[in-house]
Each structure stands twice: as C-alpha cells, then as structure tokens.
C-alpha cells in the first residue's frame, strides 16, 4: 500500500494516510493513532491480511536485486514509494550495483520529510513530490532529469500503487505513458491487489474505499492489461510470495516456495515486464 495523499501541504495526524497505515502494518513507527486504528481493523477483523504488506515488500526487494544483478540497468524510478523501511530500493540496488541511481516519487508529506532526511547523504538518490497520476510532471521534473537518463534503460516500479488509482483515473494510461518514455530493454515491476472473488477481498476493499475512497482489487485479466505492450517475464503474474522466491530466511527476501500460501497471500500479485526491442 503505497502513498497517495489528499490532506493539504502539512502532516495532519487526525486523518489516516495510506503510507502510514502501511508503515504500521509492517511494524514501523512513523504513524499516528488514526493510522493504527485503520491498521487494527485489518489485524483484528481480517486476521492474516497483514501478510499482503509483507509479501509485497519482499517481492519488491527480490525484483530490485534481480534487476541490479542480472541486467545493466542502473537507474530506477519508484512511483508512490511510501515511507522508508528496511531494504529500500536504493539500498538494495546500490548494494549490488553501487552506481545505481534512484528517484522516489510520492506526495505524502511525511514520506517526503523522512525520505529527504534518509537520502541527504546519498547523491545518487532523490525524492520528487509529484502525484503518480501526473506522469509528465514526474518525467519533466528537474530532479528526475538530473538523475535519470531517458536515453538508457530504466527500471520503473509500480509497487502497490496502481490499485490505489481508480478506474476513471486511467491506471493503464499511466503505465502506457512510462512505456512510451523509456527505451527498449527497460524493466517494469508491478504489484497489485488481486481479486479473489471471496469475502476477504470484498471486506478489505470495503475498508479501503470507506476510508480513502480508493483501493481497487482487480482480476488477473485487468492486471495483465495494465502491462499491455510489454513482455511479461517468467514466472508471469503470480502471487507475490511466488515471484522468484528464495529461502534465505531474510524476512524481506524469503518467498513462498515449498509451502501452501494463505488466502491473503493470493490476493497480492507481482510481475516483472520488459519493454521489447523495436521491430
């Protein structure tokens, strides 16, 4: 659950934030009572649902590690990045490829404050305060242009953000914009709430819609359509714990191989795609 904000230009501790609720579910400290109240609905009334947050975060770290280790891509754009936590994109990428450059994009005020403090000593990482629904504003931002060379392949990350973009806000158009802006060989990561047509899906969607007015569980076909024009890489669109899992035991990197997934772990999927070479 990455961040989108609608609360003005300063932190409002009386209104819940998607980013802070996510932080609370992951065991973070950057949240308020109002965020914990929403988080506790998931913990108390939807037992096991917190697995969605952990499964998503673990898949993200595996994807970034995979890109840094197996491709020549050394620049990342993390759209709707959320609050900093363990193994952020720049930390994972730079661990394996120190020259990697990362632009985080978010408009939640608390994300911006914490992100900029975390990154002030890292000259290859920046935070851009532009809404994910304004891709041109992100693409043309001076900070983005300072760090990202759009003549070279880019890793574009949509980690748990597009399910917070409602249908009438054209999430497919957002992905299409970035697909058209980056050169062949660029990689895309997408994680998304997956509709299970079950009571868990309906109740979780109800909580998010009533609280934030957004939070859209989509079918496999709808999620695949978001990646139209891209080559979806193995193993395809799968439950996040099954996206190239390892069994290292690290809480962020371990996957779901060799065990039966919970119903909740089936409700968050992950996929990596590549912009194919021009014909």
Tokens of 170: 């054209």
Say if 5 falls within a structural domain.
no
Per-residue pLDDT of the chain (279 residues; tens, 9 = 90+): 344 333 334 667 778 777 788 788 778 777 888 888 888 887 887 777 788 888 999 999 999 999 999 999 999 999 988 766 668 899 999 999 999 999 999 887 777 777 777 777 788 999 999 999 999 999 999 999 999 999 999 999 999 999 999 999 999 999 999 999 999 999 999 999 998 777 877 877 787 777 777 778 899 999 999 999 999 999 999 999 999 998 654 444 445 555 688 888 988 999 999 999 975
Quick one: how far is CA 227 from the chain centroid? 15
Say if 13 falls within a structural domain.
no
CATH number at 44 reads 3.40.50.150
Q: How many domains does the chain have?
A: 1
Residue 204, domain extent: 18-274
Say if 2 falls within a structural domain.
no
Say if 10 falls within a structural domain.
no
Say if 120 falls within a structural domain.
yes
Could you give the CA distance from residue 231 to residue 275 in angstroms, rounded to a whole number? 6
Which of these, 81, 91, 65, lies nearest to 23 by C-alpha position? 81
């Amino acid at each position: 659950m990455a961040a989108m904000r609608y609360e003005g230009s300063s932190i409002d501790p009386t209104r819940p934030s998607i980013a802070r609720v996510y932080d609370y579910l992951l065991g973070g400290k950057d949240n308020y009572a109002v965020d914990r109240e929403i988080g506790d609905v998931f913990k108390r009334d939807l037992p096991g649902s917190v697995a969605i947050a952990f499964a998503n975060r673990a898949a993200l770290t595996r994807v970034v590690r995979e890109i840094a280790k197996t491709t020549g891509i050394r620049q990342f754009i993390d759209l709707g990045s959320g609050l900093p936590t363990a193994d952020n994109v720049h930390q994972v990428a730079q661990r394996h490829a120190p020259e990697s450059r990362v632009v985080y994009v978010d408009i939640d005020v608390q994300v911006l404050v914490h992100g900029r403090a975390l990154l002030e000593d890292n000259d290859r990482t920046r935070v851009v305060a532009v809404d994910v629904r304004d891709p041109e504003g992100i693409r043309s931002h001076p900070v983005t242009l300072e760090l990202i060379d759009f003549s070279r392949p880019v890793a574009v990350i949509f980690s748990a953000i597009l399910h917070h973009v409602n249908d009438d806000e054209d999430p497919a158009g957002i992905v299409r914009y970035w697909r058209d802006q980056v050169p062949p060989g660029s990689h895309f990561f997408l994680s998304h709430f997956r509709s299970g047509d079950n009571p868990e899906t309906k109740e979780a969607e109800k909580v998010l819609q009533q609280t934030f007015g957004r939070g859209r569980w989509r079918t496999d076909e709808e999620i695949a359509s978001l990646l139209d024009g891209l080559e979806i890489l193995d193993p395809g669109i799968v439950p996040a714990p099954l996206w190239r899992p390892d069994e290292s035991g690290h809480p962020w990197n371990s996957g779901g191989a060799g065990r039966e997934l919970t119903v909740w772990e089936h409700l968050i999927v992950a996929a990596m795609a590549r912009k194919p070479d021009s014909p």
